[in-house]
Amino acid sequence: MSLFMHIAQIYFRNRMVDMENLTLEQYYEGYLRMLRIRKFETRAEENHSKGEIPGALHTSLGQEAEVVGACMALKDDDYMVGNHRSHGHPIGKNADMKPLMAELYARKTGICGGKGGSMHLSDFSIGSLGETSIVGSGLPVAVGAALGSNMLGEGRVTLCFFGDGASNEGAFHEALNLAAIWNLPVVFLCENNGWAVSMPASKAVSVENIADRAAAYSMRSELVTDGQDFESVYIATKRAVDTARAGEGPTLVEVKTYRFAEHAVNMGRMLVDRGEELEEWLKRDPVEILRIKINEMVGDETRLKEIEEQVEREIEDALEFAKQSDFPDVADAFDDVYSERVSDFYGLS
């Protein structure tokens, strides 16, 4: 098949899927979830700097529209796989924030019982199949979830979040090829925030757009150039999700976005000077953009303010819950894994 025919076919297929526009309720829902991420992470960062939260903290501040726009294109029982930048994904898929916050605080009531921490806020009750911190390791898992769901005749869609950096791992190639040859219901969502720690995507990726790589797998692609716009992300992802659900196979969605904070708080010397670029992106705050949009549509802030108050309360409750929870016992470190001979370590009872 010529490249032209291939592109034409992708274009044609894309048109066949209905472009579903968002209802006002969905806009409000999007704002609610984005604001939750914003406040959850802002407070977590503050309290981390006070020494309340151990380990490193990878925030998705600046990427809220991309996360929530993609998650809202899913049904509740669809699956999702994420990565080290893990806080936004479960909140975007409407998880309860209390166990997420408690996990950051390393408490027994945390979503992973205090074993995972910031890089692993994975809530299986909302369809998460892991937030995995080895870059690229989630991609094959997402393929397997889609395969498994097909084998079981359930037809659930799997959304896989991964970064621009991850698209350079071998696992990316293997996962995309497998999904393509088996025509699996996966949506590969590349959160292209321009950087992998200190490495700009422009230097690490051989193509201009990561979405261009889909052609190598005869896979459909979507390129969202304005990832700060909730609606654009939603529409592109929804099209991919609908295509997957209709049995038409996987899509590679690339969303151009930006992380506002450093790669991770408290991870050695990871501070990288991104200069004016950062200043420019800070002017396009996804949460503000959506707020302005809704305000323009409705002309009344009442509901937005209610949402803002609601989120404040939810965050306070989550913090309260986390801080009042107990730390796990040392013995808990031996649960959830098959382990033998744990009683005879000297000085460890």
List residues binding ligand TPP (CB under 6 A). Answer: 84-85, 133-135, 163-166, 191, 193, 195-197, 263
Closer residue to another protein in complex, CB, 196/244: 196
- Whose CA is closest to 36, among 73, 70, 72, 61? 61
Residue number with CB closer to ligand TPP (164 or 231): 164
Q: Provide the minimum distance between the beta carbon of 197 and Mg ion in the complex, in angstroms, as a whole number.
A: 8
C-beta of 158: minimal distance to another protein in Å? 21
The listed partner (Mg ion, ligand TPP, another protein, none) that binds 119, CB under 5 to 8 Å by sort, is another protein
Q: How far is residue 82 from each of residues 41, 69, 95, measured CA to CA in Å?
A: 17, 15, 14
Q: Which does 55 bind (CB under 5 to 8 A by kind): ligand TPP, another protein, Mg ion, none?
A: another protein
CB 159 within 8 A of CB 190: no
- Tell whether residue 164 is a contact of Mg ion (CB under 5 A): yes
Question: Which option in ligand TPP, Mg ion, another protein, none does residue 332 bind, with CB closer than 5 to 8 A by kind?
Answer: another protein
**Residue 85's binding partner out of ligand TPP, Mg ion, another protein, none, with CB under 5 to 8 Å set by partner kind:** ligand TPP
Residue 51's binding partner among Mg ion, another protein, ligand TPP, none (Cβ under 5 to 8 angstroms by kind) is: none
Question: Which residues are near another protein by CB under 8 A?
Answer: 54-56, 103, 106-107, 112, 114-117, 119-120, 132-136, 165-166, 168-171, 196-199, 203-205, 268-270, 272, 327-330, 332-334, 337, 339-342, 345-348
Pick the binder of Mg ion from 163, 185, 250, 286 (CB under 5 A). Answer: 163
Q: Would you count residue 229 as binding Mg ion (CB under 5 A)?
A: no
Q: What are the beta bridge partners of residue 26? A: none
Cα–Cα distance list, 271 to 203, 274, 278 (Å):
19, 9, 13
39-47, 50-58, 84-92, 185-193 -> range binding Mg ion (CB under 5 A): 185-193
Closest by CA to 81, choosing from 186, 178, 214, 233, is: 186
Q: What contacts 190, CB < 8 A, 6 or more positions away?
A: 162, 163, 164, 166, 167, 210, 211, 252, 253, 254, 255
What are the Cα distances from residue 98, in Å, to 13, 91, 108, 122, 323?
A: 42, 11, 12, 13, 10
- Strand bridging mode 186-192 / 199-200: unpaired
If one asks whether residue 66 binds Mg ion (CB under 5 A), the answer comes out as no
State the DSSP code for 149.
H
Comparison of 204 and 246: residue with beta carbon closer to another protein: 204
**DSSP 8-state secondary structure symbol assigned to residue 327:** P
Cβ at position 51, least distance to another protein in Å? 11
CA 291 to chain centre: 21
Q: Which of 57, 110, 54 is nearest to 328 (CA)?
A: 110
Helix or strand run (H / E) with residue 85: none
Q: Which of another protein, Mg ion, ligand TPP, none does residue 138 bind (CB under 5 to 8 Å by kind)?
A: none
> Of 218, 79, 84, whose CA–CA distance to 147 is shortest?
79
Return the number of the residue (171 or 319) whose C-beta is nearest Mg ion.
171
Where along the sequence are the contacts to Mg ion (CB under 5 A)?
A: 163-164, 193, 196
